[in-house]
Amino acid sequence: MTSSHESRGEQATDTSEEALAQLVRAQNTISGLAPVLVDLVAAFDAAGHALYLVGGSVRDALLGRLGNDLDFTTPARPDVVKELLDAQCEVVWDTGIEYGTVSAQHRGQQIEITTFRSDLYDGDSRNPEVTFGDTLEGDLVRRDFTINAMAVRLTMVDGELASEFHDSAGGLADLSRRVLDTPGTPEQSFNDDPLRMLRAARFVSQLEFSVAKRVQDAMTDMAGQISRITAERVHVELNKLIGGADPSAGIDLLVETGLGAIVLPEVGALKMTEDEHKQHKDVYRHSLQVMRQAIDQEDPEQGPDLVLRWAALLHDIGKPDTKELKEGGGVSFHHHEVVGAKLARKRLKELKFSKSDVSDISQLVFLHMRFHGYGEGAWSDSAVRRYVADAGDLLPRLHKLVRADSTTRNPKKAGRLQRTYDDLEKRIAEIAEKEDLARVRPDLDGDEIMRILDLRPGPDVGRAWSFLKELRLEHGPLEREEATRLLREWWAGEQA
């Protein structure tokens, strides 16, 4: 791979061993894509249009993590791009053509080709006036970060795929140093599109990079600009952040710059709340540690569990509103799980999370303290059933959340908590061997209830069903005759 470096001073000519290794890695990755790309590149060559792999695809090739989505840029106008793709690809769609983007599926790869852009922003929204450009450098300089402002020109030379690396913004040097910086001034970049501030925090999490000081300063000064971004877009970026390799670092950046006070104020508020165990600087640090420990329990083959991660981060957000000083010192947070669940529901709804995610995350927050009653005395089988029934499908996640919530530095206390929870899981397994704990339902269904009590569909059937479910939770499975007898007795009492 040949290289073309321009501007950004010494950083643009980085020849460190790390940078050279990344270039070799990218060359090998791109060469491996030759069977996919040669016909496409040849078509653009024949039409007289340059084709560049660009942005995140170049970054990921340098990092050795390129996936199945390939981003390209070209001076060719969108109608020409569509015509070329129609002739080469199995499926082509042009839903983004007004913004200069045409997408396709080609030999198992998702391809997106965008015409050079030199957009103009009005400073009020993040939607630019789309203007097509004529130079690669003009296209690259408008991008969010230098690590996303690199390109690789692809051409065919003597029947072989050839590549030339372009790095006018110094992205390779920043990639080698694992630093996020902007091609131009961060103030201009963030004024053009405030969402880029959240993208900075997301990349800190996903790539485990740090941000340049001038970038963090601009984020701090311009945090209020994030109000120009819709809740839906904020939600998408936060989910990507939470699903990253180090979400705690991304959350930290949001809180430190003041962005967190706008998009996740309940999390930043935890910095003001003392941990009752005095084992952490504050409940905020405890919550980040709980999230890390929850992540440690994930199944790597299943990928990030966003519901578990969000529940871990938010599990103590009810503490600031329930803080009480104890006589003789210390603090308490009675019923913080109840308050926290309400706050979680409110925040997640405002961020446009799905109904199922709002329900699941807030329910985990609500239930995370339930286990601690188990350590104060043996639970009856009924209490174990209720714990399982209230958790429902969330039980595996609840197990992980409760275990992650132990952040004490006292090894004896930590061991005791884990052994106690081991005992509860053993109890659950023992009861589950005898009855179907996964689906605790009444011993009689709705049709049977209506027949036995001579009822028509209505609220009375629901009340009877609830009564039988309480019996089931309290006593376990009942014989049909016994359930029928108790139902009749209950109904007679209701009619008295």
CATH number reported for the structural domain that contains residue 314 in this entry:
1.10.3210
Instruction: Give the integer Cα–Cα distance in Å for 91 and 110.
Output: 10
Instruction: Check whether 348 has a pLDDT greater than 80.
Output: yes
Q: How high is the pLDDT of residue 336?
A: 94
Q: How confident is the model at residue 78 (pLDDT cuts 50, 70, 90)?
A: very high
Q: How high is the pLDDT of residue 276?
A: 57
Supply 251's token pair. 């959350």
Q: Are residues 457 and 491 in the same domain?
A: yes
Q: Are residues 154 and 78 in the same domain?
A: yes
Q: Evaluate whether residue 211 is within a structural domain.
A: no
User: Mean pLDDT across the stretch 424-438?
Assistant: 73
Q: Evaluate whether residue 23 is within a structural domain.
A: yes
Instruction: Give the integer Cα–Cα distance in Å for 491 and 496.
Output: 9
Instruction: Check whether 365 has a pLDDT greater than 70.
Output: yes
From residue 459, how far is each of 214, 328, 463, 475, 476 by CA, in Å?
A: 63, 52, 6, 24, 25
3-state class (DSSP) for residue 144: coil
Q: Are residues 488 and 340 in the same domain?
A: no
Domain finish residue from 412, 438, 464: 438
Contacts of 452 (CB under 8 A, 6+ apart): 444, 484, 487, 488
DSSP state of 155: E
Q: Are residues 405 and 331 in the same domain?
A: yes
Q: Are residues 411 and 460 in the same domain?
A: no
Domain that holds residue 458: 441-495
Q: What is the dihedral of CA 79, 85, 91, 94, to 10 degrees?
A: -20
Q: Which residue has the higher pLDDT, 223 or 423?
A: 223
Supply 135's token pair. 């130079």
Q: How high is the pLDDT of residue 9?
A: 40
Q: Evaluate whether residue 94 is within a structural domain.
A: yes
From residue 482, how far is each of 114, 308, 488 by CA, in Å?
A: 71, 40, 10
Q: How high is the pLDDT of residue 7?
A: 42
pLDDT in tens, 283-302: 999 999 999 999 999 999 99
Instruction: Give the integer Cα–Cα distance in Å for 332 and 342.
Output: 19
Proportion of the chain above pLDDT 70, given as a percent: 89
Q: Are residues 80 and 9 in the same domain?
A: yes
Q: Are residues 352 and 453 in the same domain?
A: no
Q: How high is the pLDDT of residue 339?
A: 95
Q: How high is the pLDDT of residue 73?
A: 97
Q: Evaluate whether residue 255 is within a structural domain.
A: no
Instruction: Check whether 418 has a pLDDT greater than 90.
Output: no
Q: How high is the pLDDT of residue 247?
A: 98
Instruction: Give the integer Cα–Cα distance in Å for 1 and 27.
Output: 6
Handedness of CA 99, 100, 104, 107 (dihedral sign): negative
Domain finish residue from 403, 418, 438: 438
Q: Evaluate whether residue 13 is within a structural domain.
A: yes
Q: What is the mean pLDDT of the chain?
A: 87
| Predicted structure pTM score | 0.83
pLDDT in tens, 176-194: 999 999 999 999 999 999 9
Q: Are residues 406 and 283 in the same domain?
A: yes
The domain that holds 89 is classified in CATH as: 3.30.460.10
CB atoms near residue 415 (< 10 Å): 12
Q: Are residues 287 and 384 in the same domain?
A: yes
Contacts of 59 (CB under 8 A, 6+ apart): 147, 148, 150, 171, 175
From residue 377, how far is each of 297, 373, 420, 432 by CA, in Å?
A: 27, 7, 11, 21
Q: Evaluate whether residue 229 is within a structural domain.
A: no
Q: Evaluate whether residue 194 is within a structural domain.
A: no
Q: Evaluate whether residue 249 is within a structural domain.
A: no
Contacts of 203 (CB under 8 A, 6+ apart): 145, 147, 180, 209
pLDDT in tens, 458-471: 888 788 777 777 77
Q: Which residue has the higher pLDDT, 12 or 455?
A: 455
Contacts of 166 (CB under 8 A, 6+ apart): 4, 52, 136, 140, 150, 151, 152, 153
Quick check: 163 and 153 in contact, CB under 8 A?
Answer: yes
Q: How high is the pLDDT of residue 415?
A: 82
pLDDT in tens, 29-44: 898 889 889 999 999 9
User: Mean pLDDT across the stretch 422-427?
Assistant: 86
Length of the chain: 496
The number of distinct structural domains making up the chain is 3
Closest CA to 235 of 263, 216, 212: 263
Rounded to 10°, the helix 459-475/446-453 angle is: 110
Q: Are residues 283 and 163 in the same domain?
A: no
pLDDT in tens, 383-411: 888 788 788 889 999 999 999 998 777 77
Instruction: Give the integer Cα–Cα distance in Å for 153 and 155.
Output: 7
Q: Which residue has the higher pLDDT, 122 or 153?
A: 153
Q: Are residues 290 and 432 in the same domain?
A: yes
Strand partners, 179: 210
**End-to-end distance of the chain based on CA atoms, in angstroms?**
89
* Burial category of 436 from C-beta neighbours within 10 Å (exposed 0-12, middle 13-18, buried 19 and up): exposed
Quick check: 317 and 343 in contact, CB under 8 A?
Answer: yes
Q: Which residue has the higher pLDDT, 425 or 433?
A: 425
Domain finish residue from 152, 177, 202: 177
Instruction: Give the integer Cα–Cα distance in Å for 146 and 237.
Output: 19
Quick check: 161 and 196 in contact, CB under 8 A?
Answer: no
Burial readout 363-401 (b: 16 or more C-beta within 10 A, e: otherwise): bbbbbbbbbeebeeeebebebbbbbbbbbeebbebbbbb
Q: Are residues 72 and 170 in the same domain?
A: yes
Instruction: Check whether 241 has a pLDDT greater than 90.
Output: yes
Residue with tokens 């103009």: 120
Q: How confident is the model at residue 218 (pLDDT cuts 50, 70, 90)?
A: very high
